[in-house]
Structure 1
Amino acid sequence: MAVTQRRGRRIMMTPGELDEFLTSRRTCRVATVSADGAPHASPLWFLWDGTSLWLYSLTRSRRWADLRRDPRVAVVVDAGEEYGELRGAELTGTVEFVGESPRTGEPCPELDAVEREFARKNFGVDELPHDGRHAWLRLTPQAVASWDFRKLASL
């Protein structure tokens, strides 16, 4: 269960708004902690299933190495250009590794719907092509903070 947001409640997204926002967006920014303690942030496509954020990451990346060593993560999804249209969410927690690594398409019922939706959303096809270079991470957030500055106009 995600922690309730304490600050910025007047501009936070409702559960329905947050679900719609995360479902409609494609790119997130994933923040990890490197071995030397330095933060590392990188963009990545994702899929939101209503409960968890699914990340399809290169297995030979700094991000993957960081998460193998320390699975704690912060992910930001945002949108907007002008101040009054900024909106987004930060999801934090611990990732789980799902399926084989790297993913080659071995049967994994837990990934069937995820891969189908990810392929449709990002590639416009019904089946995800496996390149033997990526694998799945699932973040079921322990805490979520959201904001929608468009709500400031009504305050």
Structure 2
Amino acid sequence: MNPALRDEILAILAGANDMNIATVRSDGYPHATTVSYANDGLILYFGCAGVSQKARNLARNDKVSLTINLPYTDWGEIRGVSMGGRAARISEPREIEQAAQFLARKFPRGVAEYASDGMPGIAFFRVMPEVISVLDYRKGFGHTDLVRDHGDP
């Protein structure tokens, strides 16, 4: 991947707190929700109730689409990413702890009580992007750069 483009993706991930994630419902319709996330490079982590619609959807179909956008007040400053990838529920205790630590570092107030592996009912997920589209209106209205499978754009 182009290093400048990777740096732009990482800057967007660092500058935002929430992502809109779409999963596939059992009836085939998309189910879009907003969740807070943390990242380790391009790998995203989030938690949700283990009995939530999102968790049930991911148990059936691991495909996700998501968007992350930086705040803006002028359309000429819109920056964000759109990703397609696979989400996996984390079950290994060490990785659960790692995901919880990423989330607690990003959200130090209040998240610690939810981000511990001792918190019943919380499921942690890892999202591995396969396709990333970087939206940057500073380069022109609707400008995007596409990255596939972490390869060159």
Structure 2 residue 110 is matched with structure 1 residue 118 = no
- Paired residue secondary structure (1:142): strand
> Whole-Å Cα distance in 1 between the matches of residues 111 and 76 of structure 2?
37
Aligned to 2:76: 84
TM-score (norm 2): 0.78
> Whole-Å Cα distance in 2 between the matches of residues 87 and 22 of structure 1?
11
Aligned to 1:97: 89
Moved over 6 A (4+): none
The correspondence of residues 24-103 of structure 1 with structure 2, limited to 5 A, is 24-79=15-70, 80-99=72-91
Gaps of 5+ in 1: 5-12, 101-107
Number of residues paired by the alignment? 137
How has the CA–CA distance of structure 1 residues 122 and 98 changed in structure 2, closer, same or farther, with 3 Å as cutoff?
same
Q: In the alignment, is the contact (CA less than 8 A) between 2:39 and 2:102 conserved in 1?
A: no
Amino acid at match of 2:107: N
- Paired residue secondary structure (2:120): coil
Question: Which structure is higher in RCO with an 8 Å CA cutoff and minimum separation 6?
Answer: 1
Structure 1, 51-60 or 28-37: larger mean CA deviation: 51-60
Q: In the alignment, is the contact (CA less than 8 A) between 2:20 and 2:34 conserved in 1?
A: yes
Higher strand residue share: 2
